[in-house]
Amino acid sequence: MKSFLPFLILILSLLLIASAPLSAQNHSHPLDPLAWQEYWTVLETLQEAGNLDGKTRFSHINLLPPDKESVWNWKGTGSVPRLAYATVHQGADTYEAIVDLNKRTLESWVKLEGIQPTWLGEEFGKMSDIAKEHPEVIEAMKKRGYEDLTLIDFFFGPPGYFATAEQIDRRIAHGHASDPAGFRNSWGRGIEGLTIVADMHSMEVLRVVDEGVVPVSETNTDFDAGSIPSVREVPGRMIVHQPDGAGFKIDGHVVEWQKWKFHVRPDHRVGMVISTLSYNENDEERKIMYEGFLSEIFVPYMDPAFGWYPRNFIDLGEYTAGGFTNPLLRGLDAPDYAHYIDGLFMHDNGRPKHVPNLIAIFEKESGDPSWRHNSTEMGPESRVKRDLVVRAAAVVGNYDYILDWVFQQDGSIVVRAGATGIAEAKPTLQKDAVEAGSSQFPDDAYGRFVDPHIVAVNHDHYFSYRLDMDIDGTNNSLQIDRLTTQVLPDDHPRRSVWVNDPMIAKTESEGKLKMMMNMPALWRVISNSRTNHVGYPASYQLMPGMTALTRLSSDDYPRRRAGYIDHHLWVTPYRADERFAAGEFPTLSLPGEGLPKWTAANRSIENTDIVIWYTMAMHHMVRAEDWPVMPVLWHSFELRPFDFFNRNPALDLPKR
């Protein structure tokens, strides 16, 4: 009996914890993601209010961001109100619910008019059986040699919205078919020229568009290990080992490393959120950023055919059913020695699901120096550079994205997005570029051949990052350092030099900027309350990396729906409800939502709490080397301290 007593105590303790009311469950940080029981609190509260039944569906159940000032002032004790919001589907109607998780009360229940919520996971295949029984679909498939559609896949997703009579006031979907039989990679097996236009609310096929028969390519594009005939040798095994453990500390979702401190959480819609970022300088935690995350991705395709021109995807607002990010593969997507963070997302019915390895945190030494100099007087001096990487990965249909925040010892942060996965492609009648080159209507007019009878279609990627910078507090401004040419006097040996012509952006219109190589400028968020030791305002610079400008015409509907792509930089005054660059509900949305709508008021952005939005873009003309799976293509930008410190903050790195 005596040996059984500790076990009995343990069991009773666990039962007490499990049965504790939510109000007694303490959260270590007000920005922590929703806990398992909190999802159920939302569902139970809605049920008690009569707003939940077996047919109710959810696009999102997520933490409603608490008051910003309360979070900054939170010191580990005391409570901050904890609320959740839910986007609720009730038949053809959509509601927004706000639930107080501690009080278990429904604070708000509002019907949303004139919007379409994010696509549900079940909707992608919901029309499949109906489509297979439609006479026009059956006829079109017979023309392509298919008598039995049992093994044919149909996929229905939201098309680009053009406000046609057919689309207005409908939850429109476009359906496409593929023949995956015998292949693992079905992305090269699309049945071209056939589009099924459907209404997801009435569950009916509105019309079938047949642009002509194109045989499915028989080229095998599988790339799993068993499909590769010979695997190269990679000699010289490498092992990274930290015998003393990791060099960072994690308490819940709060990370401390090399003077950095921040909160990180998985997020159903945007994948990962970095919050309350500060840097410890001489025992003072200096604020840098309240919140940073990927706000939206826009991917328009460049083919005018009916089956392709509506493919202009607003990924985070349309395609995040089940959660934007996916589990990282240990030792493959991130090192074995990384610290992995699990998370909770939800099913369409709102019930939580556990997702492992959503975020990886690890240190990395690439062999680069943080700084160096070799002089006769001091001799060689160099310091080893070590970074902290915070990583998530997403799959959106055919594309995968690797999303990194890389913290550096010199106070800089590199934000990276790596595109990989499978380029979307279509079968063609013409075999290759040689045959297409002799045709008046080449099949590679809007893409490039990547295999016989397969063309990968040209497209773009536009990433929008929302960065709520708080440089030594919230009293900030945007300074634009314009580098201009100064012509020197006629009697001077030099003819010209460049000088800085700074300006402070006063309103939102002055904060809409493009990166132009022929008109260079530095973009800096400056503190209006603190200077460095020589009198310059403390600041952080947003330094763009490789990016692009849109080639779509200004009157093109897709460009107008994702208006944030018009500029590389937008600056807005902080508003808690302005979080998504293309608007909160971009599915089948009208033009002008999000940043264009908010900034039309031309609000003041001087000496106030500001948010900067950075657009990072790439034009993708697919090459043969991107097929059948694309090597990771990285794009990045950097947040750099600029007069934030008095000297190089990495001077104190140890010498090895």
For the annotated catalytic residues, the residue numbers are 315, 399
Neighbours of 480 (CB within 10 A): 17
CB atoms within 10 A of CB 333: 17
Q: Give yes or no for a contact between 469 and 573, defined as CB atoms under 8 angstroms apart.
A: no
Q: Cα–Cα distance between 301 and 529 in angstroms, integer?
A: 46
CA torsion sign, 26 to 28 to 34 to 37? negative
Residues facing residue 39 across a β-bridge: none
CB 368 within 8 A of CB 381: no
> Are 258 and 652 a contacting pair, CB within 8 Å?
no
Q: Where are the alpha helices (DSSP H) in 538-645?
A: 557-561, 595-599
Task: Return the structure tokens found at 459.
Answer: 């497209």
Strand duo 476-487 + 454-457: pairing: unpaired
304 φ/ψ sector (left φ>0, alpha ψ -120 to 50, else beta):
alpha
3-class secondary structure, 532 = coil
**Count of CB atoms situated within 10 Å of the CB of 308:** 21
| Cβ-based neighbours of 631, under 8 Å, separated by 6 or more | 420, 625
Assign 316 to helix, strand or coil. Answer: helix
Other beta carbons less than 10 A from residue 613's beta carbon: 26
CA nearest neighbour of 300 among 579, 636, 546, 586 = 586
Residue 471 to residue 609: CA distance in whole angstroms: 10
Main-chain phi, psi angles of 611, to 5 degrees = -120, 130
Could you tell me if 446 and 274 are in contact, meaning their C-beta atoms sit under 8 angstroms apart?
no
Structure tokens at 551: 């080639």
Find out whether 322 and 347 touch, Cβ atoms under 8 Å.
Answer: yes
The torsion angles phi and psi of 472, rounded to 5 degrees, stand at 55, 40
Per DSSP, the residues of 635-651 read EEEEEEEESSSSS-TTT
Rounded-to-integer distance, Cα 522 and Cα 502, Å: 9
- Give the burial class of 281: count Cβ atoms within 10 A of its Cβ; 0-12 exposed, 13-18 middle, 19 or more buried: middle
Give the H/E segment covering residue 552: none
Residue among 313, 316, 315 at smallest CA distance from 174:
313
